[in-house]
Amino acid sequence: MTRVVQKYGGTSVASPARLRRVARRVRDAAAGAQVVVVVSAMGETTDELIALAHSVSTDPPSREMDMLLSSGEIITAPLLAMALEAAGTRAVSLTGPQAGIRTSRAHRTARIVDIVPQRVLDELDAGKVVVVAGFQGATEELDITTLGRGGSDTSAVALAVAVRAQRCEIFTDVSGVHTADPRLLPEARVIPVITYEEMLELAAAGARVIHPRAVEIGEAYGMEIRVRSTFDEHPGTTIRSVANANMEERQKVRGIAHETDVAKVTLLGVPDSPGVAASIFGPLADEHIAVDIVVQNVSHAGTTDVSFTVPESDLRRAQQMLDGVAKQVRASGFSATADIAKVSVVGTGLRGTPSVFAQIFRALAEAGINIQMISSSEIHVTCIIDRARVRDAVRALHAAFELESI
């Protein structure tokens, strides 16, 4: 019998009416397969719980925060099981620990160490849909942990691997992985098939539809992932290894991603000597500030300018450190701006295709968009541009690679 894992995010289960809708979808799937469902907390529940914690403590211990946050999914899971039973489908809900999800002890950012799925398998064999609370697990000591960002996606793909499911379906509020953000560009299309690697690049470049951690597990274990909408019947996007895709029909450029939570810092007049980079980026790393793109121009008269991007949400913390850093590396000063955005072209083998670079630069130039910084890899080209021009840049690149007609 086919076995599938389905994951429904917070928007999909935000109200009793939506839970009943999800129950109908699950019931239909369960007519022809064994189904494990992984659920997130309803709507804004997690944010509300975090606010509650901060109302009793300025610095809540992570262990206690995890126990508190786990309640969100412990509410959704039995509610969906009840809705399934009401729809005539036998169902049972399990907490993450009950489902055998064992994690590291890193509270709030725990990693799945192992899954012992015996209880899940027993319930499936008893003919039930198993609804598992996502985003949570337990340490060896049975302390409750949460998996951090993308936690429920990660629970779902890891469970799919553990129960040897045929595929893992991630249900969300969009119809699949798009060639660009459909809220920005209405003509963006759903990509039917994409490789794990391409999906990881798209996610890293700003696409939010599935978390990279989940894609990495899918890639490591060869688990097929399907991203689709709770609210329509579109077949969505299948994420799988390249070997399975139709190689003849594949395009080099798969999608355009963008990211606006980004800021640029430039250290001016830095003496161009060994160890300078370590002096700059070591302190930032110690503060867990994620530096993304780094550009260093050729040196003039023994000094150079070093520019890099950080999440805009970390800019204030970064600036607090940069006075000291600038002094230490004997820079003449630094500048910072949050008025920028990243726009990325993602595909396979871009470096082997110089014309792609030419097409990108031409498209942006014709749209009158200045490129402030560039970074590229085998499968992405990212340009830093003026934030006000993001929509224009995405549209220009989407059109240049004819993504509206895939």
Residue ranges binding a copy of itself (CB under 8 A): 16, 19-20, 23, 49, 52-53, 55-61, 63-65, 67-68, 70-71, 74-75, 77-83, 85-86, 91-93, 95, 98, 142-144
Nearer to a copy of itself, 67 or 399 (CB): 67
Nearer to a copy of itself, 83 or 253 (CB): 83
Smallest distance from a copy of itself to CB 269, Å: 46
Nearer to a copy of itself, 58 or 405 (CB): 58
Smallest distance from a copy of itself to CB 103, Å: 15
Smallest distance from a copy of itself to CB 320, Å: 25
Smallest distance from a copy of itself to CB 318, Å: 28
Smallest distance from a copy of itself to CB 100, Å: 11
Smallest distance from a copy of itself to CB 61, Å: 6
Nearer to a copy of itself, 129 or 200 (CB): 129
Nearer to a copy of itself, 13 or 369 (CB): 13
Q: Half-sphere exposure (CA, 13 Å, Cβ side) for 154?
A: 24
- Residue 102, beta-bridge partner list: 114, 138
Nearer to a copy of itself, 52 or 358 (CB): 52
Smallest distance from a copy of itself to CB 232, Å: 22
Nearer to a copy of itself, 79 or 210 (CB): 79
- Residue 382, beta-bridge partner list: 344, 375
> Is residue 191 within 8 Å of 237, Cβ to Cβ?
yes
State how far the Cα of 120 lies from the Cα of 223, in Å rounded to an integer: 18
Smallest distance from a copy of itself to CB 23, Å: 8
Nearer to a copy of itself, 141 or 286 (CB): 141
Smallest distance from a copy of itself to CB 16, Å: 4
State how far the Cα of 100 lies from the Cα of 120, in Å rounded to an integer: 8
Smallest distance from a copy of itself to CB 315, Å: 29
Beta strands 136-138 and 144-146 are antiparallel
Nearer to a copy of itself, 61 or 127 (CB): 61
Beta strands 167-172 and 224-229 are parallel
Q: Give the 3-state secondary structure of the chain.
A: CCEEEEEECCCCCCCHHHHHHHHHHHHHHHCCCEEEEEECCCCCHHHHHHHHHHHHCCCCCHHHHHHHHHHHHHHHHHHHHHHHHHCCCCEEEECCCCCCEEECCCCCCCCEEEECCHHHHHHHHCCCEEEEECCEEECCCCCEEECCCCHHHHHHHHHHHHCCCCEEEEEECCCCCECCCCCCCCCCCECCEECHHHHHHHHHCCCCCCCHHHHHHHHHHCCEEEEEECCCCCCCEEECCHHHCCCCCCCCEEEEEEECCCEEEEEEEEECCCCHHHHHHHHHHHCCCCCCCEEECCCECCEEEEEEEECHHHHHHHHHHHHHHHHHCCCCEEEEECCEEEEEEEECCCCCCHHHHHHHHHHHHHCCCCCCEEEEECCEEEEEEEHHHHHHHHHHHHHHCCHHHC
Nearer to a copy of itself, 64 or 386 (CB): 64
State how far the Cα of 361 lies from the Cα of 369, in Å rounded to an integer: 9
Nearer to a copy of itself, 136 or 179 (CB): 136
Smallest distance from a copy of itself to CB 17, Å: 9
